[in-house]
Each structure stands twice: as structure tokens, then as C-alpha cells.
Amino acid sequence: MNENIMICVYCKQDKKPSNEHVISKSVLQAVFGVKIRNISGSSLFSKQLLVDHEQTICDVCEKCNSLLTKYDESGALLVSEIDRYYDLTSKAISFNTLKLGWLLKTHLNFLRMIPRKDTHEFYEFESILLTQIKEYIPIDFTFFSLLLNGWKGKDYFWKEDDERKISYFSYKSIEFPNQRIVVSNLRIKALDTFIFFPSDCNYDSFKSRCSSTHEQMLFELEIFPEQIDVEQAILEGKINIASIIPFQ
């Protein structure tokens, strides 16, 4: 097998891979500046975090990668807006289909990169979502559930010279085996974003499985993000951040 050829996850054709940044390069640049690639000498990040920030994934061809740039531009706008605050209490974040597309694309990038903890297999997901993203056709909101949780953060959380600072982006996925749901969780500074997908790509009773997962998050994990009506948020052009995690 030629290692320079792979099947592109977007167009399903045998192609040469490009380096798709897991978190768009334009988003990293919007937050960290154009010198992101040379930041290793900076005290801002430990080496480990730097690697995480620069992570790329090699299952997207150059052509599809270039078709996705509109999302990267919108992602940069979204993240720049989030970047203005460390406390999201009473804040609203502008939202539209391109910002949703960027968020979904980024979560799906992570989901393709981080396998299940137990079997080390990757989660399957509905590939129609990737087609809808790539073709810029309306995204089917029934294929996922979006939940958000803002933080009442402290300014020192992200102060580069403070010992108590935490990472700017953080990602994890949590499987709920009873509901057959995988919760993909990407935190961008003070905004925790959760996207629920079926862990087995099966959409039977997906809505009620999501509600049950949401309840389990509250009672067992004591996190209670608010479910977002995506259609309404796009109509209004914004999301009011209603659920806030306080920090003492």
C-alpha cells in the first residue's frame, strides 16, 4: 500500500492527504497570533500543550481541505468573540450556519483522532454530516445535539504569566454505554461545547437517548450544560449563554 494515498473522509476518493489542522490554523492564529508555529520558545505553553494545539489529521485531501476554508474563517470569528471574555455570565455569542459548521467539523476531527478508551476503536459517525459540511448544504440538525456551558471564569485562568493558568483549548470524549451516546466535549477558553452523537451511528430514539444522557451528566457528573435549539439560534443570529459554571 502506498502510504501517500488514503481515502479522503469527505469525498471518499483515493487521494494524497493534506494536513488538516484539528483546530483550524486561522483560529489558532486569531487567538495566539501569526507566530503560532514558532511559539515553542514562549513561556505561554508547555511543550505538550503546543503539540496539542498544532495537531493535524491526515484523512482529508487537499481539494476538500481547501473547500472548508469558509468555516475556518467563521471559526476564527467565533473564537475571537469567545476570547473577549473570561466570564460568560449574561453574555451572548453570535451564531450562524458557518459557525455551526466549524464547530461540527472540529468536533468530528477530534472524534476521528481519539479512539474509545476500552477497545481503542474509533467512533463511527454519520458521514452525511461531512457531505453536508463540505457541500455547504443545510446541515441536518437531527444528526446531533449541541449543548453549551459557560464559565464564570477568573482572569488568571488564561493569564500567560500566572502559575494557575489552564489550557486555552481542551478536548475529551465520554461514552455513555447505556444510551449508546458519545459526548464530544471541546472547551474553548470559558465556553464548554458538547456535541452528542450516537456511539454506534444508530439514530433510533436518538432524542430520548440524548435526554437520558443529559440527565446522567447532571446527576452523576454534576455538569449541566444547556441544550441549544440550533435552528432558533441561527434564526436569532446568537446564543445567549444561560448555563454558567461558577468558580470560587
Asked whether position 23 contacts Zn ion by CB under 5 A, the answer is no
Least separation in angstroms between residue 223's CB and Zn ion is: 36
Asked whether position 57 contacts Zn ion by CB under 5 A, the answer is no
Q: Is 75 exposed, middle or buried (0-12, 13-18, 19+ CB in 10 A)?
A: buried
- Please identify which residue in 61, 82, 104, 190 interacts with Zn ion, judged by CB under 5 A: 61
Of 9-17, 23-31, 40-48, 183-191: span binding Zn ion (CB under 5 A):
9-17
The C-alpha atoms of residue 64 and residue 188 are separated, in whole angstroms, by 25
Of 11-19, 28-36, 40-48, 224-232: span binding Zn ion (CB under 5 A):
11-19
Least separation in angstroms between residue 9's CB and Zn ion is: 8
Q: Mark residues 179-198: x for contact with Zn ion by CB under 5 A, - for none.
A: --------------------
Of 6-14, 26-34, 118-126, 179-187: span binding Zn ion (CB under 5 A):
6-14
Q: Residue 139: which of 103, 185, 93, 88 has the closest Cα?
A: 103
Least separation in angstroms between residue 176's CB and Zn ion is: 32
Asked whether position 11 contacts Zn ion by CB under 5 A, the answer is yes
The C-alpha atoms of residue 167 and residue 176 are separated, in whole angstroms, by 26
Least separation in angstroms between residue 139's CB and Zn ion is: 18
Of 54-62, 85-93, 114-122, 212-220: span binding Zn ion (CB under 5 A):
54-62
Exposure string over 156-193, b if 16+ CB within 10 A, otherwise e: ebbeeeeeeeebbbebebeebeebbbbbbbbbbbbbbb
Least separation in angstroms between residue 110's CB and Zn ion is: 19
Asked whether position 64 contacts Zn ion by CB under 5 A, the answer is yes
Residue matched to cell numbers 459548521: 101
HSE at residue 43, side-chain half, CA atoms within 13 A, is 6
Asked whether position 6 contacts Zn ion by CB under 5 A, the answer is no
Collect all residues with Cβ–Cβ distance below 8 Å to 106 and sequence separation of at least 6. 22, 23, 24, 75, 186
Which residue number, 11 or 230, has a Cβ lying nearer to Zn ion? 11
Identity of the residue numbered 1: M
Q: Is 77 exposed, middle or buried (0-12, 13-18, 19+ CB in 10 A)?
A: middle
- Sites of contact with Zn ion (CB under 5 A): 8, 10-11, 61, 64
